Amino acid sequence: MAETQRSEQRFLPRYRTALKNRQQQENLLQFQRAWARDREAAFADQQFGELRTRLTAAKNQILDDLDGWLKRFEDAARANGVTVTHARSARDACEQVLTICQQVGARHVIKSKSMVSEEIELNHFLAAHGGTAIESDLGEWLVQLAGERPSHMVLPFIHKNRRQAADLVRQATGSAPDHSDVPAVVHRARDAIREHFWSATVGLTGANALVVEDGSVLLVTNEGNADLTVTLPQVHIVLAGIEKLIPTLADAAVQLRLLARSATAQRLTVYTTFIRRPPAHHRLHIILVDNGRRNMLADRRYRAALRCIRCGACADTCPPYQVVGGHVFGHIYSGAIGLVVTPAHHGLAADADPQSLCVSCHACQTVCPVNIPLPQQILDRRSEVVASQGMPLTLRAMIEVWKRPSAFDRAMRAAALGSGPLRKAGNWVDLPAGMSSLPMLNAQASWRSFSAPAAQPFRELFLTRGRRQSDGRFDSALSGKRIALFAQCLTDRFWPEQAAAVTDVLRALGAEIVFPERQHCCGLPALDAGDYVSAREMACQTLEVLEATGADFIVSGASSCVALLKHDLLHLFEDVPVWRHRAERMGQRIHSFTQLIAEEAGLPHGIWDNGRHELVTYHDFCQSRHVLHELDAPRSILTALLGCQVVELPEVMCCGFGGARSGLYPEVSRAIGTRKWESIRQTGALTVVTDNPGCIAHLRSMLHRQRGPERVLHLAELVAERLV
Amino acid sequence: MERQELRVEFEASARRAGMRVIAVSRATLTSASKQLFEQRILGFEESPARYLATPTVREQYPGLFSCLDARIVETPSEEVTTQAVGLCVAMLGIAETGSVLLAGEQVQERFVWLGPRHVIVLLPETAIVATLEDGLYWFTQHRETGAVTLLTGPSRTSDVERILTVGVQGAEEVDVVLLTSEEEGEVG
């Protein structure tokens, strides 16, 4: 617990400092936008999916028999005249480096970028023993001068600006060109770093890969500093994790195709070097570092993370990372992969707060060149944190109420009554000016309005509107089908009009709608909170209720629930075969509203076209895009059935809702939401369509506060407009 | 892929990577004088202080090595490097990336393409292969080679506010002299 408190004390000041770092936010924003565009162009002539399947298979091959491959690599490297040793811990690795330095009488080590050396905190260790490690990568050198850690695996200095760079160079060298001339500052830094290459006896690098076939070490840089590091000093030390093996040079070629494109959107890095042997009279040591990796290998939840090639793509596409940067979103390893591997190397406490920033948008897995299930793994880490340290009290209280249908019902009815005096048109609640000026409330309420529970939940509306039969105004393949509606707990209570729209559309298509009255919550809030026990309990109740319907289809207008029922439950029930089987069967039966209309309804072109060609933009709910892969379905409904003109958003990204994250980190939620609205407004569309109630609520909450001219609709609501 | 197609693709890729590609016939290069090489082929306005060459240049292009008064780097130092131009021979060119494959693990070889700010790479047109895999296959087949570098442009960084700066630790300029078998394009 003491460890946790220390961690929290460190985290919150870091978080607050990062929120004030506009330079970092601007740098990361510009980088993320350029990276997304350039990465797409860089992969235009490649089959990303095929390449990642091949590299994933190659890395899995290694992990399936790591000791065997290590033995083969060591034999090949030793045959090349290389010394290979193993280090079980960070301290062991540091001591081995120190011993080598002492053997050759070296006090100074020149380094090229090595995340493993950061992981084991080698620079501090050497300094404590009278030595000095000088970083030779420009960004790393500047970060070292600043007394900080890299904030990004590929762009270590991205959290700072040119003025800070010039100041650091001036401090280190006694002079520096004006900060406005960045190339001149860089060249001055280059001259200073060059001196260290000449004076160092020992050069230290990481490894981008270790090739088993011939025992070679792969190093890639754009600056050329790694090549100088391995060429000029007489001793070259490679610090590499044991997972860095790759079977063959042909596999390494696949890795290279993916690595440069994923990291910097280049076809190939400038210096791509394979080292088999050291130069004559030089020595090459390879230290293979475990430091928690074997524990990951033995844990099937995290084993796939050992496939990582450290490209940084998961950070480059991460919305919260753009807001807070790598010193907050991670520990020493940053980005999504950092949230997964940190406990293995630095303990769970180091991950306790950073992992809570993840909004589970799944964009990281989509761009990962080795298809690591990062969002799932981050949730697993969250569940470990919750199991060992509990969760924030407010969240705990919320889940305890939420998982009990009757308690939830009472709480919602009380909230509906209690919010009455503050309620405005459309069930919006704005806090009184006096209250929202309080700092704690200001962060939550100054930029958005809140939805109050509707006076009448959908489950009552469904009854009062009568168990109407289908009107069948439109011929469809759903005519005569019995469809069970899973409304979603929040839609039921807060936005019943969305569930009503789904119902109206399906009835108009001739379907019979049933509403299982015992339905409550699929378990997503608990899963998102890392409370797997409660999530399973809630999921079991939902499965039982939905299984009992006997309907032809089960449909939900809440794609988040559909994603959970189709995918997350398989993992949640991984060790409970009976429930996993039931979850698999449910996954086959449940449909999102979007999928049902696009794939099952069999509707003719232009059925709901009013001839106005309404200009709309479509926001892909993150999991609809990255998990359910429903990209074409909503667009085909909008264009082919409704005759809308769809303008694509310039940025594909989260809206900033992220479930409880928007309450835990309102500043992050606000920043992402603002970025989203900027993207929306670039389209010129006044109608924003999506199919997930959480996104709709978040976007509407900002829109209402801004009094913007746009409207945000569930796809079912837009279709329902065309029924009359 | 036909040789001409490979060459066209290589030239386009190499230029995209920031390298200058100058086509010259092997016969012209073999008989070139210092003045012809520097002024007519490379377009230098001034002669560099010195040329640092790899042993391979001396072996394969002794006339050029001699007329340029090039040196093999016995003991590299910053003083030796200052205002020197590196001269080396590529084993291969990779058409899809525009890379040149430079082989050798010895300091006197590697320093030639790592140390100077300006590097000239001699590449026979017949040594252009199509893909990265083809290039690494060469390394697979040459077990005696201790190291290879695929050089794809001049050294660069975008570490400060993502502003591209060329010439950081390695070369600021990389010229590829593409050696053709025909009389063509001596002046690039």
What six digits make up the tokens of A610? 């009013």
Q: Which residue segment(s) compose the domain that B111 sits in?
A: 3-180
Q: Cα separation of A56 and A247, whole Å?
A: 12
pLDDT score recorded for residue B188? 36
What six digits make up the tokens of A216? 């070679």
* Contact criterion met (CB below 8 Å) for A687 and A464: no
User: Domains of chain A (ranges plus CATH)?
Assistant: 1-42+302-389 (1.10.1060), 65-289 (3.40.50.10420), 458-721 (no CATH)
Q: Of the candidates A193, A222, A276, which has its C-beta nearest B147's C-beta?
A: A276
Type of residue at A160: K
Instruction: Quote the minimal CA–CA distance from B32 to chain A in Å.
Output: 30
* Contact criterion met (CB below 8 Å) for A10 and A307: no
* CA-based nearest residue in chain A for residue B13: A267
B186 located within any domain: no
Q: Cα separation of A447 and A427, whole Å?
A: 17
* Contact criterion met (CB below 8 Å) for B145 and A276: yes
What six digits make up the tokens of A379? 């949730």
Task: Tell me whether residues B97 and A225 touch, CB distance under 8 A.
Answer: no
Task: Tell me whether residues B169 and A232 touch, CB distance under 8 A.
Answer: no
Separation of CA A271 from chain center: 30
Q: Note whether B174 contacts A: Cβ–Cβ < 8 A.
A: no
* CA-based nearest residue in chain A for residue B170: A224
- The answer, yes or no, to whether ipTM is higher than 0.90 is yes
Instruction: Quote the minimal CA–CA distance from A225 to chain B in Å.
Output: 6
Nearest Cα to Cα of residue A719 among A643, A617, A628, A660: A643
Residue A9, classified by CB atoms within 10 Å of its CB into exposed (0-12), middle (13-18) or buried (19+), is exposed
Plot region of A460 (φ>0 → left; ψ -120 to 50 → alpha; else → beta) = alpha
Q: Of the candidates B99, B114, B171, which has its C-beta nearest A231's C-beta?
A: B114
Task: Tell me whether residues A276 and B107 touch, CB distance under 8 A.
Answer: no
Instruction: Quote the minimal CA–CA distance from B120 to chain A in Å.
Output: 15
Task: Tell me whether residues A157 and B152 touch, CB distance under 8 A.
Answer: no
For tokens 């949640």, the residue is A572
Please list the residues that pair with B173 across neighbouring strands: B118
Kindly tell me the number of DSSP H helices and DSSP E strands found in chain A: 37, 21
Instruction: Name chain A contacts of B76, Cβ cutoff 8 Å.
Output: 232
Separation of CA B135 from chain center: 16
B79 located within any domain: yes
Considering only residues 71 to 110 of chain B, which have any Cβ-Cβ distance to chain A shorter than 8 Å?
Answer: 76-78, 96-97, 99, 105-107, 110
Strand arrangement, sheet containing A245-246: A245-246, A209-211, A216-221, A271-275, B147-151, B99-103, B92-94, B128-129
Q: Cα separation of B161 and A363, whole Å?
A: 24
B70 located within any domain: yes
Q: Cα separation of A252 and A244, whole Å?
A: 11
Instruction: Name chain B contacts of A156, Cβ cutoff 8 Å.
Output: 159
Helices (H), A232-353: 249-264, 293-298, 313-316, 319-324, 335-346
pLDDT along chain A (724 residues), means of 10: 42 94 93 95 94 98 98 98 98 98 95 96 96 96 94 92 94 90 93 92 98 98 96 96 98 98 95 96 97 98 98 97 96 96 97 96 97 98 96 92 96 88 78 71 88 92 73 91 96 96 96 95 97 97 95 96 97 96 96 98 96 97 96 98 98 94 95 98 98 97 94 98 90
Q: Note whether B158 contacts A: Cβ–Cβ < 8 A.
A: yes
Task: Tell me whether residues A138 and B110 touch, CB distance under 8 A.
Answer: no
* Contact criterion met (CB below 8 Å) for B130 and B95: yes
B185 located within any domain: no
Per-residue confidence of chain B (188 residues) as pLDDT tens digits? Answer: 688 999 999 999 999 999 999 999 988 888 889 999 999 889 998 889 899 999 999 999 999 999 999 999 888 888 888 789 999 999 999 999 999 999 998 999 999 999 999 999 999 999 999 999 999 999 999 999 999 999 999 999 999 988 899 998 999 999 999 999 865 544 43
B188 located within any domain: no
Q: Note whether B51 contacts A: Cβ–Cβ < 8 A.
A: no
Instruction: Name chain A contacts of B157, Cβ cutoff 8 Å.
Output: 138-139, 186, 222-223
Task: Tell me whether residues A223 and B170 touch, CB distance under 8 A.
Answer: yes
* Contact criterion met (CB below 8 Å) for B22 and B41: yes
Nearest Cα to Cα of residue B124 among B18, B16, B30: B30
For tokens 């195709």, the residue is A257
Q: Cα separation of B155 and B165, whole Å?
A: 9
DSSP string computed for A210-260: EETTTTEEEEEESSSHHHHHHHSSSEEEEEEEGGGEES-HHHHHHHHHHHH
Instruction: Name chain A contacts of B140, Cβ cutoff 8 Å.
Output: 213-214, 249
Q: Cα separation of A371 and B66, whole Å?
A: 54
Instruction: Quote the minimal CA–CA distance from B38 to chain A in Å.
Output: 26
B39 located within any domain: yes
Task: Tell me whether residues A249 and B140 touch, CB distance under 8 A.
Answer: yes
Nearest Cα to Cα of residue A696 among A618, A598, A592, A615: A618
Residues 6 or more apart in contact with residue A696 via CB below 8 angstroms: A495, A498, A690, A712, A713, A714
Q: Note whether B130 contacts A: Cβ–Cβ < 8 A.
A: no
What CATH number did the domain enclosing B168 receive? 3.40.50.10420
Type of residue at A429: V
pLDDT score recorded for residue A7? 41
Interface test with A, best of B149, B168, B176 (most A CBs within 10 A): B168
Q: Note whether B173 contacts A: Cβ–Cβ < 8 A.
A: no
Please give the tally of structural domains in chain B: 1
The CA-based diameter of chain B, rounded to the nearest angstrom, is: 48
Task: Tell me whether residues A228 and B106 touch, CB distance under 8 A.
Answer: no
Instruction: Name chain B contacts of A190, Cβ cutoff 8 Å.
Output: 167-169
Separation of CA A462 from chain center: 38
Distances (CA, A) of A6 to A148, A330, A490: 19, 16, 36
For tokens 């299982």, the residue is A516
Task: Tell me whether residues B162 and A155 touch, CB distance under 8 A.
Answer: yes
Helices (H), A433-480: 433-436, 439-445, 458-464
Long-range contacts, stretch A30-34, CB < 8 angstroms, 24+ apart: A30/B162, A31/A155, A31/A158, A31/A316, A31/B162, A32/A316, A32/A317, A32/A322, A33/A651, A34/A265, A34/B162
Task: Tell me whether residues B169 and A139 touch, CB distance under 8 A.
Answer: no
Task: Tell me whether residues A275 and B147 touch, CB distance under 8 A.
Answer: yes
What six digits make up the tokens of A280? 């004559």
Q: Of the candidates A183, A190, A273, which has its C-beta nearest B149's C-beta?
A: A273
Task: Tell me whether residues A224 and B171 touch, CB distance under 8 A.
Answer: yes
* CA-based nearest residue in chain A for residue B161: A161
What six digits make up the tokens of A289? 């570092």
CB atoms within 10 A of CB B45: 6
